[in-house]
A and B are shown apart, each in its own frame.
Chain A
Amino acid sequence: MKRRVAVVGIGHTDFNSMTPELGWKEFMFEACQKAYMDAGIEPREDVDSFITCAEDYWEGFSIFDEFVPDQVGAVLRPCCTVCGDGLFGLGTAYMQILTGQMNIVAIEAHSKISDLLTFGDIGLFAYDPIFERPITGPVERQHYTGSPSYTKESPKPLAGKTNEKERIHPYFLAGLEMQHYLEKTGTTEEQCAKVVVKNKKNAFNNPNAEYEANISIENVMNSEYLFKPVKKLDISPNVDVAIAFVLASEEAVKKLDVDPIWLKGFGWSSETPWLSTRSMDAKYATMASKMAYKMAGIANPKKEIDIAEVDDRFSYKELQHLEAIGLSEPGEARKMLDSGDLDLKGSLPTNISGGSLGIGNCFEATGLQKALEIVTQLREHAGKRQIANAQTGVAQSWRGIPSGSGAVAVFGRE
């Protein structure tokens, strides 16, 4: 008989576009402390294992794992780093509990992306050095636009000899993939813009959101093309945040005074890293969702899932991911969008938190931001954006450009 695993604690810092006054250690401390208080546990005694999700280049260290234990309460305890999105950490914790050797496991993921002066150039290091990086430049460009967070004053160490020669921003891949998605499904750029409008509007109901805005489809359509057809407002702006979760086995839940939200199924998968041979159809999400639904005993996700938080770091990604994880027929997500099914009162409320477009791109914490919203909704703590009578929710995440890896988690009240 498989053990059941529940989320018993959640905690997070504010979501802010810049946090010069705080160090990453203070960030992690705040999120973890809130999660431990939420679960009513003492980390130095009750938590059997600690997991951080971090990637060296985002952190600016060679071995980030070194800097984890003190502020999360893991000194002289089992603690490790998973190089992946926060949902991969959640899955790792899930497996550790299923072994029977652990009862309570804490997971932390964060973004301190505002510390990075050269965001785009760091992103380029994720491309294969031999086959893919050469196509990224340096090339002639009139204006360096790059990431919305990249100001003209930022140093550009990888630029060519003159200011006119720049390396391409790594997000160019999103332009290629969006073009493929639009052609394949018949979705229009306006429909993608509608995702931006919806999510930024949803964000008004989320006190944590950093990028809420009351904008129109025209505003999105009129924003400049950065990676055609991706426009400036199609891209989720970066945000700083730390998020922590506490998972517990069923036996441990009984001893805690909490309202458990059960982690019913979990899946993750990776496509090939080669840009030239991958599907460009978010196949990673399809494979991960099949695994998660099977584990959760979900036969018909369209009927059984009440609420979804899917990765929307680019506007088209929300539609693409909804199709990939089986919540919409292929190419039909745009119709669900147009008919209002994805709205707060629709049949499948999606990214009600505001998503990455409304809250901000949380990098390795993106998956935990999605899970945070699902758990908050299932606990019925979501305030103005509460979905009535939600029983089962799904959180999906992707590791971002240029990876082909992602994870899916299914949560339920029972």
Chain B
Amino acid sequence: MNRVAVIGGGMTLFRRRLLETGKELSFLATKMAMEDSGIEKKDIDMVVMGSAPDAFDGIHMKGENLLDGAAAANKPYVRVFNGGGTSVFAPIAGWWHVASGVADTALVVCEEKMGSCFPHPQTAFQHIWDPVIDRPLHPNLVWLFAMEMNRYMTVHDIKKEDIALVAVKNKRNAAGHPCAQLPDEKITVDDVLNSEIMAWPVQRLDISPPSDGASALILCSEEKARQYTDDPIFIDGVGWNIDSTMWTNRDLYFPRYVANAAKMAYKMAGIQDPRKEIDFAEPYDPFDYKELHHLEGLLLCDKGQAPILTREGVTQRDGDLPVCPSGGLLGVGNPIAATMGQKVCELYWQLSGKAGKRQIPTDPQIGVGQAWGDIMQMGTVIVMRRG
């Protein structure tokens, strides 16, 4: 197996960007990643696209439509897709292009344009349900995740205040992010607790905002990486795992699919004790409780302990285990697949010391990124290491 290095990353501003098409967003991120790495289009062998439901843009075979924006015309190109998990899964697909030896250099582009979905991107999610069993109930995602959040809070006797701390931390962290949509340096727990109730216990500030944006990464073999940089960052472990479609038959308090994916990635990366060896984490945080849920799924703490770590400040940027130093989805925004910018590009920027104001002060060596998708069933995990 070839060792796979990351040599460049790019990420656009996350906003409702009605003036730009998905192709243009992909182009912007791709250009940034190429300029960051110094690599040219002709040196890129293959391209991987990550993008979530076609229904957001109303474009069938969206991958085909986006390809020229991602520098993929006249190149081998493939789009992978597993709902929200795509943001970490697309770089995993990039990883196997290079690790297999089939490509020397692969470009990974993740794009999402939710803003054009009228009246709200939630309407695209009306079609993610089983047509026979779920759809007659007219569910939506906030309703669904309220049930999961409630279950998590009930099993571990967690207070809403402790969960709100995650939203506060991430929105404050996002203040240093140039792409951030909802940074807020002054937000408090009371702000979160006093925000509008969407579906109890989910309140408005517990949720990340829908957004438009794109991000890109350049992956290559170790040999090639040494030509472009003295300090490449490596993808040493990847894992992905899916649980049953029948979410009603599962206990939602623990994401066992994330745990399986994490075990796969840690094994590949040779990590024996993740709690000791991993310096920082970027778990997927579309809702504030999800960061806690996923920290437990990533085996970085015991079940039910993540709120305690958060309360004690362990997960702050200067804590022992910085979590979502980017500002996560809650602070930077949630253009589904394009959150590769926070979950994977951020690992690269932090490990290579390019994170600017967001830089973790303790010189991190190993980071883990994770995403979550489909109907609460897909876990995707990536482990990156310096040198």
Contacts and interface: CB of A to CB of B under 8 A. Distances in A.
A273 B127 contact: no
B241 A126 contact: no
Interface stretch (A76-84, A144-152, A213-221, A372-380): A76-84
Nearest to A91: B78
A65 B76 contact: no
Interface stretch (B30-38, B163-171, B243-251): B243-251
B60 A78 contact: no
A126 B63 CA distance: 10
Interface residues of A, number: 61
Interface string B79-120: 111110000010001011101111000000000000000000
A83 B125 contact: no
A405 B83 contact: no
Contacts, number: 194
A62 B128 contact: yes
B1 A99 contact: yes
B242 A63 contact: no
B57 to A, nearest CB: 8
B36 to A, nearest CB: 24
B89 A62 contact: no
A99 B58 CA distance: 36
A402 B67 CA distance: 13
Interface residues of B, number: 64
A83 B79 contact: yes
Contact of A63 (B101, B240, B373): B373
Contact of B78 (A77, A88, A128): A88
B240 A80 contact: yes
B242 A268 contact: no
Interface string B39-76: 00000000000001111011111111101100011111
Nearest to A268: B76
A271 B73 contact: yes
A92 B81 contact: no
Contact of B65 (A63, A124, A128): A128
A78, A92, A128, A291 — which one has the most chain B CB atoms within 10 A of its CB?
A: A78
Interface in B254-283: 256-257, 260-261, 264, 268
Contacts of B1: 99-101
Given A62-B125, A126-B61, 9 more contacts: A62-B55, A63-B81, A63-B128, A70-B245, A76-B260, A80-B93, A92-B78, A130-B21, A291-B76
Interface of A: 2, 55-57, 60-63, 65-70, 74-84, 88, 91-92, 94-101, 122-126, 128-130, 267-274, 283, 287-288, 291, 399, 402-405
9 tightest CB-CB pairs across the interface, nearest first? A98-B100, A125-B60, A57-B60, A95-B100, A126-B60, A66-B374, A62-B53, A62-B127, A99-B99
